């Protein structure tokens, strides 16, 4: 991705927290990708990848851990022609979802804060390509810019 020093300076000057920036990818306290899991930014998911699984921890407005109780998460593959449901487990206070194969894919999550809550849909584009600027994989790219995927 192209990094503009000017854009970086603007972000610093405005005091925008990278984790809450709306330009690029949002990263959480553990370096994971932040997914918005509510309509009003009260629940976030922090996605990290480990051994072929996504681990999704819940965070509150202040990016503090939220206890995993009766919240539920479903996940499907992003293949529109043949969407496939993924098996979501709860483990060590996190949701654990098997990653699809390949270096680039889309996973669609549906989160409910409680059994009666309306589901909130979040999309995660996984991209293992390394960003030349920040050396993170693109799906965890920290570069402050309006990153738009084709
Ligand atoms: Zn980057």
Could you please report the per-residue DSSP string of 123-143?
A: EEEEE-PBPTTT-SBGGG---
pTM above 0.85, yes or no: no
* Number of residues that this document lists for the chain: 150
Choose from 8-12, 75-79, 141-145 the range with maximum mean pLDDT: 75-79
| Ligand 1 center–CA 48 separation, angstroms | 17
| Ligand 1 center–CA 33 separation, angstroms | 13
| Ligand 1 center–CA 129 separation, angstroms | 10
Per-residue confidence band for 15, with pLDDT thresholds at 50, 70 and 90: very low
Share in percent of the chain as helix, strand, coil (round to 5) = 10, 35, 55
Mean pLDDT of 53-82: 95
Domain 17-140 has CATH 2.60.40: yes
Mean pLDDT of 113-140: 94
Q: Say yes or no to pLDDT of 9 above 90.
A: no
| Ligand 1 center–CA 19 separation, angstroms | 14
Helix, strand, or coil here: 111?
strand
Q: What secondary structure letter does DSSP report for 63? A: S
Q: Are strands 72-77 and 53-59 parallel, antiparallel or unpaired?
A: unpaired
The pLDDT value recorded for residue 4 is 56
| Ligand 1 center–CA 31 separation, angstroms | 13
Mean pLDDT of the chain: 85
Beta-carbon contacts of 71 under 8 Å, excluding residues fewer than 6 positions away, are 43, 58, 111, 112, 113, 114
Tens digits of per-residue pLDDT, 49-59?
999 999 999 99
| Ligand 1 center–CA 72 separation, angstroms | 31
Helix, strand, or coil here: 79?
coil
| Ligand 1 center–CA 5 separation, angstroms | 13
Is the CB of residue 68 less than 8 Å from the CB of residue 91?
Answer: no
The pLDDT value recorded for residue 45 is 97
| Ligand 1 center–CA 76 separation, angstroms | 27
Mean pLDDT of 85-101: 97
Of 9-13, 47-51, 55-59, 97-101, the range with the lowest mean pLDDT is 9-13
Q: Say yes or no to pLDDT of 7 above 80.
A: no
| Ligand 1 center–CA 18 separation, angstroms | 13
Sign, Cα dihedral of 58, 34, 135, 88:
positive
């Amino acid at each position: 991705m192209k990094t503009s020093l000017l854009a970086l300076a603007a972000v610093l000057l405005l005091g925008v927290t990278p984790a809450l920036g709306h330009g690029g990818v949002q990263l959480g306290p553990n370096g994971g990708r932040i997914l918005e899991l509510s309509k009003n930014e009260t629940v976030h998911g922090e996605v990290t990848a480990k051994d072929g699984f996504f681990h999704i921890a819940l965070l509150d407005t202040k990016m503090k851990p939220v206890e995993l109780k009766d919240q539920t998460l479903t996940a499907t593959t992003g293949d529109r022609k043949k969407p496939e449901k993924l098996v979501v487990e709860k483990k060590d206070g996190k949701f654990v979802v098997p990653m699809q194969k390949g270096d680039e894919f889309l996973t669609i999550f549906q989160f409910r804060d409680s059994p009666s809550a309306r589901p909130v849909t979040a999309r995660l584009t996984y991209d293992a390509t390394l960003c030349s600027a920040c050396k993170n994989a693109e799906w965890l790219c920290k570069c402050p810019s309006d990153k738009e995927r084709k």
